[in-house]
Amino acid sequence: MGGNRSVFTFKQFSLAHGNPGLKISTEACLLGAWAHPFAHGKILDIGTGCGLLACMLAQSNPDANIDAIEIHQEVATIALENIKNSPFKNQIQVINSDIRSLSTNNRYDFIISNPPFFSNHLPTPLEDKQIAIHDDELNVVDLVGSIKNQLKPGGKFAVIYPKEVMDKFEKELGKNGLFVHQYLHIFSTPKSKLLRVICLGSTNKVELAIDNLYIKDEKNEYSEAFKLLLYPYYLIFE
């Protein structure tokens, strides 16, 4: 265990990631950076992995209290070690559990998730990677149901998916009295295909807003919008 594990160092914290679980992605970092202005109070991070989103939200929201839930025991152990070694150990609680069986007695002001999204694909060789990538353990229906059960009235949520899965997610939200407020379309460059979609939503219906974000510009350099979002976190942006 841990033979292929790496350490990703941010400005205020470092995270061991990969083996077991997936490595930190640029898209996941964008989710945490973009979502933090909407996160406050009691926060739930569904499928925390190495603890990335929980740490990003804790850094930007020092008064927040965050529950980071992870179904895979070995991945949850990595998250727990990361949190203990971070400045946010008093803000974040790691829970090794299935979100579908989590008690709904104390609902959340904000929910965030970078969920698995592959379905109808061949299984990956390693079980931990299978759980992290594929939606066997948390499909769109499960995630929407969990958000509905765990979110306070008026609370907000942020989720990232590929476009085709986000379309299914939005339809399921509509069946459960949940609504999308904003979409952020993420592109690698202005000429590339749509990479991921982040949505912000809540229990309230409002007019929909859609924005685009390009990771790199026409010169293949990080865009100003990307640098602005990740400046508080990435060491390369000084």
- Provide the CATH number for the domain around residue 26: 3.40.50.150
Measured CA to CA, the distance from residue 198 to residue 161 in angstroms comes to: 7
Residue 235 is assigned to a structural domain of this protein: no
Q: What pLDDT score does 103 carry?
A: 83
Q: What pLDDT score does 132 carry?
A: 39
> How many domains are there within the chain?
1
Q: What pLDDT score does 238 carry?
A: 84
Question: Are 92 and 79 spatial neighbours (Cβ–Cβ below 8 Å)?
Answer: no
Q: Which residues contact 199 (CB under 8 A, 6 or more apart)?
A: 158, 159, 160, 161, 166, 169, 170, 180, 181, 182, 183, 184
Residue 238 is assigned to a structural domain of this protein: no
Residue 172's domain comprises 6-230
Q: What is the pLDDT along the chain (238 residues), one digit of tens a residue?
A: 344 679 999 999 999 998 777 889 999 999 999 999 999 999 999 999 999 999 999 999 999 999 999 999 999 999 999 999 999 999 999 999 999 888 878 899 999 999 986 544 334 444 444 333 444 567 999 999 999 999 999 999 999 999 999 999 999 999 999 999 999 999 999 999 999 999 999 999 999 999 999 999 999 999 999 999 999 999 999 8
Residue 38 is assigned to a structural domain of this protein: yes
Instruction: Provide the H-helix boundaries in the chain.
Output: 26-35, 52-60, 73-84, 127-133, 140-150, 163-175, 224-230
Residue 1 is assigned to a structural domain of this protein: no
Task: Flag whether the pTM goes above 0.85.
Answer: yes
Residue 236 is assigned to a structural domain of this protein: no
Residue among 218, 148, 167 nearest 188 (CA): 218
Residue among 156, 147, 181 nearest 61 (CA): 156
| Helices 52-60/26-35 angle, 10° precision | 30
Q: Which tokens sit at 220?
A: 């293949």
Residue 223 is assigned to a structural domain of this protein: yes
Q: Which residues contact 122 (CB under 8 A, 6 or more apart)?
A: none
Residue 180 is assigned to a structural domain of this protein: yes
Question: Are 113 and 123 spatial neighbours (Cβ–Cβ below 8 Å)?
Answer: no
Residue 173 is assigned to a structural domain of this protein: yes
